[in-house]
Amino acid sequence: MTAYSKPYPRPYPLAVQILTSVILGVGASLLLILTLILGYQLLYAGRIFPSVTVAGVDLSGLSPSDAALKLNQTLSFPISGRIVFRDGASVWIASPVELGMVFDASASAQAAYHLGRDGNPFSALTDQLRSRKQGADVAPVIIFDQRLAYAYVNALAAEINRPAVEASLKIEGTNVVAQAGQVGRHVDVDATLVFLSAQLQTFRDVEVPLVVIETPPLIADVSAQEAAARQILSAPLQLSLPNAAAGDPGPWIFEPSVVAGMLTVKRVDNSGQSEVRVGLESGAFAKLMTPVAGQVDRKAKNAGFYFDDNTRQLVPIEGRNAEVGRTTDVPATIAAVNEALLRGEHSVALVVKEELPAITDNATAESLGIRELVSSQTSYFRGSNAERMTNIQIAAERFHGVFVPPGATFSMGEVLGDVSLDNGFTEAWIIYGGRTIKGVGGGVCQVSTTLFRTAFMAGFPIVERYSHAYRVSYYEQTVSGRDPMLAGMDATVYFPLVDFKFVNDTPYWLLMETYFNASSQSLTWKFYSTSDGRSVTFDASGPRNVTAAPQPLFELNPELKKNEIKQVDWAADGADATIVRTVWKNGAVYFTDTFTTHYEPWQAVCQYGPETVDAEKLAKKQGVCLPPP
């Protein structure tokens, strides 16, 4: 029999023993830490954690109410603080409370108390440990009334703000007054308040930067223009004709006082940049140039010729050489003057455009297509007084040797020009305002009537023609007497209101010649050109619908003597007249036209002096102002 014995217990492995020890140690440590944390929380329950400050004031261990009391007692910054605003040498100082800052001590204490208590437990514990080790300064809670701050900063802006001022230049008489430009400044109130709000949070005396926006003027300096203006007014301006010849007008000199009246200062944009320019104002300068241009400008003049019927060549008329025309280019002259003045020059040549004459001194009949006489008409003016004959001669001479280009419309008024005493015309009888009165140029219509008939018989289109108000006996005269069938063959000119025009509708130049004959009291007008096969026939009605002249009118003239009678208007029967012209060309009708004329019945007028008895009887005795038959 075998005896039984109990087995001895086997020991745990070493690793298990070590792990068990570690777990027991960690658990003990965690329990210890947890105990410490809980104890720490219990220790500062209802109190601010250590090393927590507000605006530098230590609130460690204080309850929120005690902390609020301490903050109120310690922080006097809202009242005693100094906020400095500076703009250059100007300084403004205000207390925070003036700027709308109110310190909320209770809210600030609550903010300090909640440090380490908000968020999840781990972040709260982290905040507690960080503040204990490093300290934590909680931003004070302030109430910022921006209305007060805005009003304060806006008041500063009123002192600082100023608009940008452009540099200017003024001309006062002949003095030049310059003013430099000024930089504009504007306080950005909103941006300044952003800086102010941030600085108030520091609870320290600070200088708050004023946000000032500067706007430079577009033109800051006009010293160069001032010097230019002074230079312009330093001497008279002299204008002259370029390449002036003997007898040419000029020079023209304008004193600085006159130039100053035209000097302008303008701001212009030059490639996106503004600048000031000094110069003469174009409108004022153009007015100044009007009389100058009146002396300088002239139309080109064709050379004058007459046609020699024997040699069939053109013969120059003495003293009628061709002249180059010239026109003052006022805009270009203004530009040239301004450029010269800015260079310091005061003597400037006018800018003149030249126009060459169409007919030069060496023109020939062949080159112009002038080969023969194409029309000639003669009118008579027997009974005209010396004044009327003088006017006829002067007016006719203006057309002698005048050329009409092919295809051109000829205006008699443009060639006749100014009918005035200065141009040699005299006073003679004219029709004006329903009366026959003395006027300058009476008799010129004898010339227009002769031209009308010459153009009529040449077969040229008549584009403008006006008849007289009543039948004038001169225009119905023939070489042997009076022909009523010439009624309606007259034309009047009173330029520029009334003109006579015809068209040279041929491809050849037309040369006009006029011949005044004092002994026969006649005027002959000739057209020389090249015939294109035209001929003219016409049918004249003569006077129709004749209306007798009214009874004579007698009127008092205080300037006449007693029993002195003077006839100042002559009777004429009224009538209508129609002329139909047919222009033929190489045997075929080229065109037809009709000229219709209405003549008013005209009253004779006699004047008599004061105290004249029975003026009508006296007039009859003298054979004037007789009643119509």
- Exposed e or buried b per residue across 101-136, where buried means at least 16 C-beta atoms within 10 angstroms of its C-beta: bebebeebbbbbbbbbeeeeeeebeebbeebbeeeb
pLDDT for 1 equals 47
User: What pTM, to 2 d.p., does this model score?
Assistant: 0.61
**Whether the predicted pLDDT of 378 surpasses 70:** yes
Question: For 219-249, how does the pLDDT look when each residue is reduced to its tens digit (9 = 90+)?
Answer: 777 777 778 888 888 899 999 999 888 889 9
pLDDT for 385 equals 85
Share above pLDDT 70 across residues of the chain, in percent, rounded to a whole number: 94
pLDDT for 213 equals 94
Write the class of the CATH domain 223-355. Answer: alpha beta
- Mean of pLDDT over the chain: 87
User: Where in the chain are the domains?
Assistant: 223-355, 369-622
Output the six-digit token pair for 281: 């104002």
Token pair 């000029």 is found at 250
Contact 159, 266 (CB under 8 A): no
Q: Which of 585, 605, 494, 483 is nearest to 534 (CA)?
A: 585
pLDDT for 328 equals 94
Highest average pLDDT, of 33-37, 165-169, 200-204, 274-278, comes from: 200-204
pLDDT for 629 equals 62
**Whether the predicted pLDDT of 493 surpasses 70:** yes
pLDDT band at 277 (very low <50, low <70, confident <90, very high): confident
Q: Rounded CA gap, 98 and 108, in Å?
A: 21
**Whether the predicted pLDDT of 6 surpasses 60:** no
Question: For 39-54, how does the pLDDT look when each residue is reduced to its tens digit (9 = 90+)?
Answer: 778 888 889 989 899 8
Instruction: Tell me whether strands 212-215 and 325-328 are parallel, antiparallel or unpaired.
Output: unpaired
**Whether the predicted pLDDT of 302 surpasses 90:** yes
Instruction: Give mean pLDDT, residues 62-81.
Output: 87
**Whether the predicted pLDDT of 590 surpasses 70:** yes
pLDDT for 30 equals 73
**Whether the predicted pLDDT of 264 surpasses 50:** yes
Question: For 418-471, how does the pLDDT look when each residue is reduced to its tens digit (9 = 90+)?
Answer: 877 776 777 645 554 554 545 545 788 999 999 999 999 999 999 999 998 888
Question: For 156-181, how does the pLDDT look when each residue is reduced to its tens digit (9 = 90+)?
Answer: 999 999 999 877 767 777 888 777 88
Q: Which of 364, 404, 363 is nearest to 525 (CA)?
A: 404
pLDDT for 158 equals 93
Q: Which of 194, 181, 189, 180 is nearest to 160 (CA)?
A: 189
Instruction: Give mean pLDDT, residues 497-517.
Output: 96
For residue 127, give the DSSP letter: H
